[in-house]
Amino acid sequence: MVARSFADARTILLDMDGTLLDLHYDSYFWNEYLPIRFAQIHGKTPAESTLFVHQLLQQHRGTLNWYCTDFWSGEFNLDIMNLKSEIAHLIAYRPETLTFLGRLTKMNKRVILTTNAHPNVIALKNDMTDVLAHVDEVVSSHDLQSPKEDQNFWRNMQSQLKFEPNTTVFIDDSTTVLDAARQYGIATTVHIATPSVKSQPSPSPDHPSINSLMDLIHP
C-alpha cells in the first residue's frame, strides 16, 4: 500500500537526520560528546556536565531552539559548530540511501529535503556527504521560523513551495513530526524504524514503518 502511494506520488519530502543520514552522529554528539567537551572546557566533572547538558536540552525539545546551533552556543558558552566539526568523520548515510536516491532521480518526482537542522549543520553534512546534490530543493525549519512539529511550518512550506499535500509522501524518523504532517493533510507519512545503525528497529504503531528506504521501491 505504501509502495503504491510512493509510486503514484508527485512530491517526496525527505527528512535528513535519521532518514537519509545515520542518526548515530547526532545522538553521539548530544548525548556523549557534548557533555565530555563541556566538562573539559568549563572544568566540570563528567557527572555534573552530563546532568546539566541533558536537563537543558530537555527543556527545549520540540522547539525551534532545540535545533538551533546558535542558541546552544549561547546556552553552553561553546562553539557548537566547531565541536560538531571535531567529529564530522562520523557523518554518514544510512544503508541503501544512496541507492535509493539514485533510483529516485530517475522517477521524475519533485524531491525536497525537509529538515529541522540549522543551515550551518546542513552545510557541514553536505560537505561530508554531498547530500544536496540528490534533492531538488531544501527547506529548513529555521527558514520558516517554525519546527516541523508546528502546523505553521507546514502552512508556510506549502505557501512557499506550492506542493500538493494529497500527492505527497513524507518520510521521517520522528513520529511527532509525522503526526504534525498528517494533521496538516500530507497524504502519506512513512516512518523510519531504524534511524541509527546503532539502534534496534522501533516501528511506529501510527505510521507505516520501514527499515530501508529501498523498501518503498521494491517491498
Residues designated catalytic: 8
Q: Which residues contact 129 (CB under 8 A, 6 or more apart)?
A: 21, 91, 92, 93
For residues 59, 62, 64, 70, the Cα torsion angle rounded to the nearest 10 degrees is 50
Cα gap 99→147, rounded to integer Å? 29
Q: What does 159-202 look like in DSSP terms, one character per residue?
A: HHH---GGGEEEEES-HHHHHHHHHHT-SEEEEES--STTS---
